[in-house]
Chain A
Amino acid sequence: MSVPQDISPMSGADAHRAHVQPPAREGIWAEIFRYRDNRVALALIVPSLLALILVQLYPILYTGWLILTNEKGVFIGLANLTRLTSDTIFRGALIFSLKMAIVVVPVSLLLGLGLALLIRSEYAGRKAIWISILIIPLMVSEIVAGTMWKIMYHPTLGLVNVPLTLLGLEPIIWLMKANTAFIALCIVEVWRISPLAFLLLYAGLNQVPRDIYEAAAVDGATRWRAFWDMTIPYIRPMFSIATILLFVWSTRTIGTIAATTAGGPGRATWNLSWYIYGMSFQRLKPHYASAAVIVMLLMTYIAGAIFVKYLWVERKQR
C-alpha cells in the first residue's frame, strides 16, 4: 500500500537559490589569514609546527644531505646507499630487527589480549590495581628493563635458571649462544611491550557494548561464536593499531640490547638502532649511518601510514 505523502518537490523555494553562489574556493592560506580568529588559531599551532619542523623536517633533510656526502663532507652521490646493499653487518641487523618483530609482536598481542579478557571478566577483583601492576613495564625505561633482565639471565646471579635446575634440567646460559640470546631478548621485549598491547586491547574491549553479548546469547550463539562474531570485529581497529605500535616499538629498541647482550655473542643481536648508534658513534661514520637511518624511517613510515589510515577510518566512523 503506497502512502503518497511525500509528493515532491518539497523544497519549494528554488526560486531563491539563483542569486546565492557557494563561496569561491580559496587557498587554504587565504582562508586562514582572512579571519582574525583563524590567525589566532594559527598562532597557537605554530609553536607545535616549529617543533615538528625541528624534529621531523630538519633531521630528514639533514639526513638526506648526510647520505650524499662522506665523512669528510665530499659529495659522493648514492655511494653510501649502494655500500649499504653489500654491507652484511647491516643486513644482519635489519634481519634481526624484523625477526624480533615477527616473534615479539604476535606473542605480545596474544598475551595482551588474554590478559585484557581476563581483566575484563567479572572474576578479576579490583581491576584498577591489576591494571596498574600489569602496565608497570611500560613505564620502566629500556635501559633499566635491560639491566634487570641481564641480572635475571645471569648464569650465577640470575633467577631464570633456578626453576630449570629445580626440574633437573641443564641450566641455560641464555646470553651465550646466538639462538638462546635471541630468545632471551624476545622475552625481554615481550615483557617490556606486551603491556602496551594489553592496554590498547583492553581499551578496545571496553568499547564493545555489553548488550551485544546478551543479544548474541538470546540469538543462541555459543561463547566462542560470540567472541569471534562480536568481540573480534569490534576490537579489530584497535588490534591493527596495537600491531603497528608494537612493531614500531620493538624495532626501535636499543636500551635493552645495550644493557643485556651489547649486541653479542658476535653480532648475533645487533638490531638497526644498535647498528646506527655504533656506526655513528663508535665507528665514527655518521654519514654512512644516515643511510641506515633512511631505511629505518621507511620502515616506520610504511607502518605509520597504515596506522594513521586506520585511525582516520575509526574517527570517521563516529
Chain B
Amino acid sequence: MRATGGRDVMTNEQAIDSSTSEQINQEVVLAAQKRRLNLKKALVVVVLYMAAFWTLVPMYWVALTSVKSLRDLAHIPPRLFPTDPRIDAWVTIFERRILENIVNSLVVAGFATIFCLLVAVPAAYAATRMRLPLRFVGIVVALMGLVALLPPIASAIPLYLLGSDLGIIDEKYTLIILYTVLNTAFAVWVLRGTFMDVPVDVEEAALMDGDTRFGAVRRILLPLIFPSLFSIAILLFIFNWNEYIIALYFVNSMSTMTLPIAIQAQIPQHELDWGVVSAAGTIAVVPVLVAAFTLQRFLVRGLTFGVAG
C-alpha cells in the first residue's frame, strides 16, 4: 500500500521542497530522496523475489526429488543438490506409459475445450448481442454464474450413477462431454464479459455494410475478441488438464486415465520410489510453466475476465 501512493506523495513533496529550499539544500534533499527511492525499490523487489521463491520452490524441490537416488532421498538433512542424480524415476514413469496418460489428457482437455467454446460462444453472443427479453437473459446469466460455483463433487455422484446406468463410464468421450458441460456455465459467464467489452457499434456497422449476422460475428467480432477468446481457451484447457474429481469417478482404465489420476496413482502404497511421484508431478507442471511464460499477457487477461471484465 505504501508503494501505490508512493509516486504521488513523492511529487507532492518535491513540489514543496523546490518552493521552500535553497539550491544546495535542495540537491541534498533530492539525493536523499533518490536513495530512499532506491531503498524502496530494493525492498519491493526483494519482497517480490521472496514471493516468487515461495511460489516456485515446491516445483524445484519436486523436480529435484525426481532425480535423487534412494540414498540421497534417505539423507538427513535433505540435500539441496543431488550427489548421484539418477533418471530411474523418469524411466519408470515412462515405462508406466505416462505418455499415454498425457495423450489422454491432451485429447480430453483439447476436445472438451473446443466443444465448450462451440457451445458457449453462441450462447454468450445471444445473451449479449441479440434482442432477447432482458429478464430472460438475466435469469440465464445468473444461473450460469451459480453453476460456475457448483462444487464438482456435488454433481459427481449423480452423474456417475447416470453414467453407469447408461454404460458410458470409462470412455474418453464421456469425459469430453462432461468437461464440456461442466465448464459451459463458466465459459458463457466469462465470454459474456468479453463480448460486453466490444462496442456493439462495430458489429452493427458490419450489418449496415451488408453483412449477415453470422458474417459479422465471423469477420468482425471474433477477430476482435480473439486474444480474449484464446486466453479463455487456455484457461479452459488448464481446468480440464487439471480436473481430478470427475476423472476419479469416471476413469477405470489406462485407456482413459488422465494425468491427475495417473499422478495420484504414483503416490506409493506398495511402491518404493518418491522419485516416481516427483517425476510424474514434474511432468504435470511442465505445460503449466510453459503456458505461464509464453502466454503471459493472454493469460492474465483471461484469468481476470470473468469477474473483472
Q: Which residues of A line the B interface, CB within 8 A?
A: 28, 31-32, 35, 37-38, 40-42, 44-45, 47-49, 51-52, 54-56, 58-59, 62-63, 66, 114-115, 117-125, 128-145, 147-152, 154, 156-159, 161-162, 165, 191, 195, 199-200, 202-207, 213-214, 216-218, 222-224, 226-227, 231, 238, 241, 245, 248, 251-252, 254-255, 258-259, 273, 276-277, 280-281, 286, 289-290, 293, 296-297, 300-301, 303-305, 307-308, 311-312
- Interface segment, B27-35, B91-99, B139-147, B198-206? B139-147
B157 and A280: CB pair below 8 A?
yes
Please, could you name 30 A-B residue pairs with CB atoms under 8 Å apart, sorted by A?
A: A38-B133, A45-B123, A47-B119, A47-B122, A47-B123, A51-B180, A52-B185, A55-B181, A55-B185, A56-B143, A118-B47, A119-B48, A123-B3, A132-B299, A133-B55, A134-B51, A136-B288, A136-B289, A142-B244, A144-B263, A147-B277, A148-B61, A151-B62, A151-B277, A156-B78, A159-B78, A205-B4, A214-B8, A231-B1, A304-B146
Max count, chain A CB within 10 A of own CB: residue among B12, B59, B74, B155: B155
B292 touches A52 (CB 8 A): no
Residues of B within 8 A of A51 (CB): 119, 180-181, 184-185
Interface centre among A132, A238, A259, A289 (most CB of B within 10 A): A132
Contact A226 B5 (CB under 8 A): yes
Known: A35-B131, A248-B151, A300-B150. 13 other contacts (CB 8 A): A32-B136, A44-B130, A63-B158, A66-B157, A115-B48, A118-B51, A121-B44, A157-B274, A199-B304, A231-B4, A254-B153, A286-B161, A297-B150
Interface size on B, residues (CB 8 A): 106
Give the distance to chain B from A111, nearest Cβ to Cβ, in Å.
Answer: 8
Structural contact, B154 and A137, CB atoms closer than 8 A: no
Q: Is the CB of B281 within 8 A of A254?
A: no
Q: Does B248 contact A (CB under 8 A)?
A: yes
A45-B140, A280-B157 are contacts. A136–B55 as well, Cβ < 8 Å? yes
CB pair A58 B3 closer than 8 Å: no
Q: Which residues of B contact A216 (CB under 8 A)?
A: 8
Contacting residue for A301 out of B11, B120, B146, B153, CB 8 A: B146
| B interface SS class | helix
CB contact under 8 A between A124 and B45, given known A32-B136, A231-B4: yes
Judge whether A159 and B57 touch: CB under 8 Å: yes
Q: For chain B, residues 151 to 167, give those with C-beta under 8 angstroms from any C-beta of chain A.
A: 151-155, 157-159, 161-162
Q: Of all chain A residues, which has the CB nearest B301?
A: A203
Across chains A and B, which 9 residue pairs bring their CB atoms closest together, nearest first?
A: A121-B3, A141-B242, A203-B308, A62-B158, A41-B130, A44-B122, A48-B123, A223-B5, A132-B296
**Cβ contacts B105-147/A at 8 Å (1 or 0 each):** 0000000000000011011011100111101100010111111
How far is A290 from B153 in the complex, measured between Cα atoms in Å? 10
A51-B184, A133-B55 as given contacts; A59 in contact with B133, CB under 8 Å: no
B228 CB-CB contact with A under 8 Å = no
| B77 surroundings in chain A (CB, below 8 A) | 161-162, 165
User: Would you call A62 and B162 a contact (CB within 8 A)?
Assistant: yes
Give residues of chain B (32-81) contacting chain A, Cβ–Cβ below 8 Å. Answer: 40-41, 43-45, 47-48, 51-52, 54-59, 61-62, 65, 73-78, 80
Distance in angstroms between the alpha carbons of A191 and B241 in the assembled complex:
20
Verify B5–A213 contact, CB threshold 8 A.
Answer: yes
Residues of B with C-beta under 8 A to A289: 157
Q: Tell which of A59, A144, A165, A206 touches B284, judged by Cβ atoms closer than 8 Å.
A: A144
**Do B291 and A223 touch across chains, with their CB atoms under 8 A apart?**
no
Decide if B254 is an interface residue (CB 8 Å cutoff): no
Contact A147:B122 (CB < 8 A) given known A162-B77, A191-B58: no
